[in-house]
Amino acid sequence: MRFTRFPRVVPYVVTPRKLAYARRAIQHARDKCPLFPELTDQRSAEQRMADNARHSRLYWQDMRDTQAASWREARRELGSLRASQRAGLLRYWQDGGLPGSPVYLLGCIYEIKRRRICYWHKLAELRRLRLIGMGRLPNPWKKFQPTNP
**60 and 96 in one domain?**
no
SS3 state at 144: helix
Please report the pLDDT score of residue 23 as a whole number.
93
pTM > 0.75:
no
Short-list 102, 11, 33, 32, CA closest to 65: 102
Average pLDDT of the segment spanning 94-104: 87
Residues 3-50: tens digit of each pLDDT: 788 888 888 899 999 999 999 998 998 888 888 877 777 889 999 999
Please report the pLDDT score of residue 6 as a whole number.
85
Q: Is position 112 within any domain?
A: yes
Domain count, the chain: 2
Evaluate if residue 147 carries a pLDDT over 70.
no
- Rounded Cα–Cα distance for residues 85 and 94 (Å): 14
Short-list 60, 71, 69, 120, CA closest to 96: 120
Q: Is position 52 within any domain?
A: yes
Evaluate if residue 145 carries a pLDDT over 80.
no
Evaluate if residue 86 carries a pLDDT over 80.
yes
Q: Which of 34-43, 56-65, 75-84 has the lowest mean pLDDT?
A: 34-43
* Last residue within a domain, chosen from 27, 42, 69: 69
CA distances, 73 to each of 22, 50, 123 (Å): 40, 35, 24
**50 and 96 in one domain?**
no
* Last residue within a domain, chosen from 20, 41, 69: 69
- Rounded Cα–Cα distance for residues 88 and 124 (Å): 11
Average pLDDT of the segment spanning 102-113: 92
Query: Sign of dihedral through CA atoms 130, 131, 135, 140?
Result: negative
Please report the pLDDT score of residue 50 as a whole number.
94
Instruction: Based on DSSP, count helices (H) and strands (E) in the chain, helices before strands.
Output: 5, 0
Domain residues for the domain of 118 are 81-140
Residue type, 68: A
